[in-house]
Amino acid sequence: MHPSPPAIDPRQLLEQMLLIRAYEEAIVAGSAAGKLPGTCTSVGQEAAAVGVVNALEADDLILTNHRSAGHLLARGADPGRLLAEVMGRRDGYCKGRSGSLHISAKELGVVLTSTIVGAELSLAPGVALSQTMLGRPGIVVCFFGDGAACEGSFHESLNLAALWNLPILYVCENNQWQAFVHRREAMSREHVADWAAAYGIPTRTVDGNDVFAVLGAAQAAAAEVRDSQRPYLLETCTYRTRGHLEPDDQGYVDQAELAAWLARDPIAACRDRLLADGSLTPAQAAALADQVSTRIAIAQAFAEASPFPAAEELCRDVYA
Amino acid sequence: MPTLTLYDAVGAALTEEMRRDSSVIAFGEGIATKRHELVDEFGGLRVRNTPLAEGIIAGTAVGAAATGLRPVVDLLFAPFLCYAMDELVNSAGKLRYLSGGQFSFPLVTLAMTGAGWGVGAQHNHNVEAWFVHSPGLKVVMPSTPADAKALLKSAIRDDNPVLFFLDIGLLYQPGEVPSDEQTLPLGRAAIVREGQDVTLISYGKTVHHCQRAAETLAGQGIAAEVIDLRSLKPLDESTILASVRKTGRLVVVHEANRLCGIGAEIAALVAEYAFAALKAPIVRLGGPDAPVAASYPLEQTSVPQAADIAAAAERLCSAQPA
A95-131 per-position pLDDT tens digit: 999 999 999 999 999 999 999 999 999 999 999 999 9
* Tally of CA atoms within 13 A in the half-sphere of B247 that contains its CB: 29
Residues B31 and B167 in one domain: yes
Average pLDDT over residues A33-49: 94
Query: Residue B287's Cα: distance from chain center in Å?
Result: 16
Residues B22 and B137 in one domain: yes
Q: B74-108: per-residue pLDDT in tens? A: 999 999 999 999 999 999 999 999 999 999 999 99
**B46 in Cβ contact with B58 (< 8 Å):** no
pLDDT of res. B181: 87
Q: Give the Cα separation of A86 and A103 in Å (integer).
A: 9
Contact: A318, B96; criterion CB under 8 Å: yes
Q: Return the CATH number of the domain spanning residue range A19-240+251-301.
A: 3.40.50.970
Query: Residue A239's Cα: distance from chain center in Å?
Result: 13
Residues B223 and B157 in one domain: no
| Alpha carbon distances (Å) from A280 to A9, A94, A203, A303, B298 | 11, 37, 33, 32, 79
Instruction: Tell me chain A's radius of gyration from C-alpha atoms.
Output: 19
pLDDT of res. B180: 84
Q: Which of A61, A98, A159 sits opposite B99 (nearest CB)?
A: A98
The structural domains of chain A, with segments of one domain joined by +, span: 19-240+251-301
* Percentage of chain B modeled with pLDDT above 90: 98
Q: Give the Cα separation of B181 and A70 in Å (integer).
A: 50
Q: Which of B50, B55, B66 sits opposite A153 (nearest CB)?
A: B55
Residues B140 and B200 in one domain: no
Find chain A residues with C-beta within 8 A of B63's C-beta.
63, 112, 122-130
- Please give the helix or strand (H or E) that residue A73 lies within, else none: helix A69-74
pLDDT of res. A98: 96
Q: A195-219: per-residue pLDDT in tens? A: 999 999 999 999 999 999 999 999 9
Question: Parallel, antiparallel, or unpaired: how do β-strands B231-233 and B250-257 relate?
Answer: unpaired
User: B114, B143, B176: which is the final residue of a domain?
Assistant: B176
DSSP B276: G
Average pLDDT over residues B67-72: 98
Q: Give the Cα separation of B194 and A4 in Å (integer).
A: 72
Residues B76 and B156 in one domain: yes
Average pLDDT over residues B185-190: 98
Please give the tally of structural domains in chain B: 2
Write the ipTM. Answer: 0.96
Q: A146-193: per-residue pLDDT in tens? A: 999 999 999 999 999 999 999 999 999 999 999 999 999 999 999 999
The SS3 assignment for A115 reads: coil
* Tally of CA atoms within 13 A in the half-sphere of B19 that contains its CB: 10
pLDDT of res. B321: 54
Query: Residue B57's Cα: distance from chain center in Å?
Result: 21
Contact: B105, A320; criterion CB under 8 Å: yes
- Residues with Cβ within 8 Å of A299's Cβ and at least 6 positions away in sequence, in order, are A23, A26, A78, A79, A80, A82, A83
Whether B105 is covered by a domain: the verdict is yes
Q: Give the Cα separation of A72 and A199 in Å (integer).
A: 29
**B88 in Cβ contact with A312 (< 8 Å):** no
Contact: B66, A134; criterion CB under 8 Å: no
pLDDT of res. B15: 98
Per the prediction, chain A carries an average pLDDT of: 96
- Min Cα separation B171/chain A (Å): 29
Max CA-CA distance within chain A?
Answer: 56
pLDDT of res. A25: 97
Residues B161 and B203 in one domain: no
> How open is the CA angle A78-A212-A20, to the nearest 5 degrees?
25
Sort A50 into a burial class: Cβ within 10 Å, 0-12 / 13-18 / 19+.
buried
Annotate A202-268 with DSSP letters as a single string: -EEEEETT-HHHHHHHHHHHHHHHHHH-S-EEEEEE---TT-SSSS---TTS-HHHHHHHHTT-HHH
Q: Which of B68, B87, B96 sits opposite A317 (nearest CB)?
A: B96
Query: In residues, how long is chain B?
Result: 322
Does the structure show a pLDDT above 80 at A6? no
Whether B181 is covered by a domain: the verdict is no
Contact: B59, A131; criterion CB under 8 Å: no
**B109 in Cβ contact with B64 (< 8 Å):** no
Work out the pLDDT band at B320, boundaries 50, 70, 90.
low
- Min Cα separation B1/chain A (Å): 35
* Interface subset of A 231-270, CB within 8 angstroms of B: none
**B59 in Cβ contact with A125 (< 8 Å):** yes
Residues B78 and B29 in one domain: yes
Q: What is the CATH number of the domain that holds B85?
A: 3.40.50.970
**What are the catalytic residues of B?**
54, 123
Whether B144 is covered by a domain: the verdict is yes
Contact: B100, A95; criterion CB under 8 Å: yes
- Residues with Cβ within 8 Å of B147's Cβ and at least 6 positions away in sequence, in order, are B184, B190, B228, B230
Contact: B90, A317; criterion CB under 8 Å: no
Q: For chain A, how far is it from start to end, CA to CA, in angstroms?
A: 40
Max CA-CA distance within chain B?
Answer: 65
Residues B208 and B291 in one domain: yes
B95 to chain A: nearest residue by CA? Answer: A112
Residues B238 and B108 in one domain: no
Range of the domain at B140: 3-176
pTM: 0.96
| Alpha carbon distances (Å) from A190 to A117, A151, A193 | 20, 16, 9
Average pLDDT over residues A227-248: 96
Does the structure show a pLDDT above 90 at A1? no
Work out the pLDDT band at A3, boundaries 50, 70, 90.
low
- Please give the helix or strand (H or E) that residue B322 lies within, else none: none
Q: For chain B, how far is it from start to end, CA to CA, in angstroms?
A: 49
Residues B89 and B165 in one domain: yes
pLDDT of res. A2: 56
pLDDT of res. B254: 98
Whether B183 is covered by a domain: the verdict is no
Average pLDDT over residues B138-145: 98
Residues B18 and B86 in one domain: yes
| Edge-to-edge order in the sheet of strand A203-207 | A61-63, A140-145, A168-174, A232-237, A203-207
Query: Residue B60's Cα: distance from chain center in Å?
Result: 23
DSSP A50: H
Average pLDDT over residues A22-36: 95
The SS3 assignment for B162 reads: strand
Work out the pLDDT band at B168, boundaries 50, 70, 90.
very high
Instruction: Tell me chain B's radius of gyration from C-alpha atoms.
Output: 20
Residues B10 and B73 in one domain: yes
Q: How many CB pairs under 8 A join A and B?
A: 150
Backbone angles phi, psi at A266, to 5 degrees: -65, -30
Q: Which of A102, A129, A160 sits opposite B98 (nearest CB)?
A: A102
Q: B242-267: per-residue pLDDT in tens? A: 999 999 999 999 999 999 999 999 99
Work out the pLDDT band at A7, boundaries 50, 70, 90.
confident
For chain A, list the strands marked E by DSSP.
61-63, 140-145, 168-174, 177-178, 181-182, 203-207, 232-237
